């Protein structure tokens, strides 16, 4: 009889120990998941903060040409559009009085922008790739060194032409656009040679002054920066 009692006690103690071990493991798993979730939230918050800080210097500001070229380098390889209108480019073929044909045009570096959300449905709304100085908008920006360029339109009007890539309506602090993509991959252009080539209309003088305005998609995410050389 005593042996039966001892055996029963041993089984009971074993069950209690196993239950305690299982409970401890479950508690540790819950704590780990909680810490992981909190860590992910903190990490995402940190990433968002860094992203905001990166764009802050260009949010409705006046910057130097050096800062513009820094932005070109800093955001290269990322899904960020850098759109630049130099004074030389804006004044190509400008008549003696009145604006020229490039008054509302700018060169698109980095991620390519488009005017609508049909980016994934084909390339019909993709800005034309300019590869010759004889093509429209190619004069003075396509050279032996600077071989390609994308030129897009911008507007500050409430009812811009349909092909306008970036639009800032009255009262808006930023431009709105979409990133163009093909088969889910954002299209881009990193031929920035013209910005460093003397005599090129895209050349950026370090001491020049530019206005800088952020470009956002309709969800409010920053997708680029528009730099326009001041008079």
Q: Is the pLDDT of residue 202 over 90?
A: yes
Ranking 66-75, 122-131, 212-221 by mean pLDDT, the lowest is 122-131
Q: Per-residue DSSP letters for 147-186? A: --EEEEEEE-SSS--TT-SEE--TT-SSEE-EE-EETTEE
- Mean pLDDT value across residues 202-215: 96
- Mean pLDDT value across residues 121-138: 81
Contact by Cβ (8 Å): 111, 79: yes
Longest alpha-carbon distance in the chain? 117
- Mean pLDDT value across residues 117-146: 81
Most trustworthy range by pLDDT among 126-135, 182-191, 196-205:
196-205
61 forms beta bridges with: 212
pLDDT tens-digit map of 44-65: 333 333 467 889 999 999 999 9
Q: How far is the C-alpha of 78 from the C-alpha of 176, rounded, in Å?
A: 18
Paired sense of beta strands 175-176 and 209-216, if any = parallel
Ranking 16-20, 35-39, 56-60, 89-93 by mean pLDDT, the lowest is 35-39
- Mean pLDDT value across residues 132-154: 93
Q: Is the pLDDT of residue 166 over 50?
A: yes
Q: How far is the C-alpha of 188 from the C-alpha of 110, rounded, in Å?
A: 5
Compute CA 53 distance to the chain's CA centroid, rounded to the nearest angstrom.
Answer: 14
Query: Residue 134 in 3-state DSSP?
Result: coil
Q: How far is the C-alpha of 221 from the C-alpha of 175, rounded, in Å?
A: 11
Contacts of 44 (CB under 8 A, 6+ apart): none
The dihedral sign for the CA sequence 160, 124, 128, 206: positive
pLDDT given at position 18: 61
Contact by Cβ (8 Å): 125, 114: yes
Mean pLDDT, rounded, of the chain: 83
Q: How far is the C-alpha of 92 from the C-alpha of 90, rounded, in Å?
A: 6
Contact by Cβ (8 Å): 204, 65: yes
pLDDT tens-digit map of 86-103: 999 999 988 888 888 899
Q: What is the DSSP letter of 95?
A: -
């Amino acid at each position: 009889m005593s042996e039966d009692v001892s055996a029963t006690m041993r089984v009971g103690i074993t069950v209690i120990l196993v239950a305690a071990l299982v409970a401890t493991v479950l508690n540790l798993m819950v704590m780990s998941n909680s810490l992981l979730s909190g860590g992910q939230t903190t990490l995402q918050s940190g990433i968002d903060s860094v992203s905001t800080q990166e764009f802050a210097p260009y949010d409705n500001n006046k910057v130097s040409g050096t800062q513009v070229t820094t932005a070109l380098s800093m955001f290269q390889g990322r899904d960020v559009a850098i759109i630049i209108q130099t004074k030389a480019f804006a004044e190509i073929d400008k008549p003696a009085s009145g604006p020229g044909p490039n008054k509302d045009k700018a060169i698109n570096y980095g991620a390519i922008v488009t005017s609508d959300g049909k980016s994934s449905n084909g390339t019909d709304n993709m800005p034309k790739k300019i590869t010759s100085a004889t093509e429209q908008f190619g004069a003075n920006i396509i050279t032996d060194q600077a071989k390609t360029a994308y030129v897009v339109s911008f507007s500050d009007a409430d009812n811009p032409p349909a092909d306008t890539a970036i639009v800032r309506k009255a009262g808006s602090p930023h431009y709105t656009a979409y990133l163009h993509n093909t088969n889910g991959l954002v299209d881009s252009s990193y031929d920035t040679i013209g910005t460093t080539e003397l005599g090129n209309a895209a050349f950026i003088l370090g001491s020049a002054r530019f206005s800088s305005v952020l470009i956002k998609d309709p969800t409010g995410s920053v997708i680029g920066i528009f730099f326009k050389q001041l008079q």
